[in-house]
């Protein structure tokens, strides 16, 4: 796939082919989206991630950040959305970030720090120790 073949995120068709954790790619997909419902090991909190957002969007896989699997329910910008990240080797070590239409947000990262910017929340994931310990449930936002 070339950059010219990449589709805008909202035009990428959902690929419902069953996928296992080991098969989730490290980098973002540009031609399709993997919905949480296709992920064979998807925990219940991820499957419910967008149920209270407008339209009840199903989360889609975005990428890996080190040992973390990053998913998003809702659009990337200008609307309510929620991100969920869990360690691939410990799905109970999960964290969320809620993004609002105005670009503000809130989420606690593995360091225990509360973040208002999505970028700093992702950096917290990136910088987390190899074994961050139990992260708790998706309610950590």
DSSP string, 64-76: EETTEEEEEES-S
Alpha-carbon dihedral of residues 73, 1, 69, 139, nearest 10 degrees?
Answer: -10
Q: Where are the alpha helices (DSSP H) in 2-131?
A: 44-47, 118-127
Note the pLDDT of residue 130.
62
Give the containing element (helix H, strand E) for 60.
strand 60-65
Where residue 139 falls among pLDDT bands split at 50, 70, 90?
very low
- Which residues lie closer than 8 Å to 94 by C-beta, 6 or more apart? 43, 45, 46, 84, 85, 86, 87, 135, 136, 137, 138, 140
pLDDT, tens digit, 9 for 90 and up, residues 55-99:
999 999 999 999 999 999 999 989 999 999 999 999 999 999 999
Q: What is the average pLDDT value for the chain, to the nearest integer?
A: 89
- pLDDT attached to residue 133: 42
pTM: 0.86
Q: How confident is the model at residue 119 (pLDDT cuts 50, 70, 90)?
A: very high
Q: Kindly indicate the confidence band of residue 12, based on its pLDDT and cuts at 50, 70 and 90.
A: confident
If you average pLDDT over residues 91-120, what whole number do you get? 96
> Is residue 11 pLDDT above 80, yes or no?
yes
Q: Provide the pLDDT confidence category of residue 129 given band limits of 50, 70 and 90.
A: low
If you average pLDDT over residues 10-38, what whole number do you get?
94
């Amino acid at each position: 796939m070339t950059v010219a073949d990449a589709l805008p995120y909202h035009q990428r068709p959902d690929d419902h082919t069953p996928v296992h954790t080991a098969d989730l790619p490290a980098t973002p997909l540009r031609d399709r989206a993997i919905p949480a419902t296709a992920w064979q090991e998807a925990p219940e909190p991820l499957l419910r991630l967008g149920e209270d957002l407008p339209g009840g969007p199903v989360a889609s896989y975005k990428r890996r950040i080190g040992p973390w699997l990053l998913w998003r329910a809702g659009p990337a910008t200008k609307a309510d959305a929620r991100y969920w990240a869990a360690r691939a080797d410990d799905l109970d070590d999960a964290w969320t970030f809620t993004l609002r239409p105005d670009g503000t947000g809130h989420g606690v990262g593995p360091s225990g720090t509360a973040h208002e910017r999505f970028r700093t929340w992702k950096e917290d994931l990136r910088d987390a120790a190899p074994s961050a310990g139990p992260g708790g449930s998706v309610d950590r936002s």
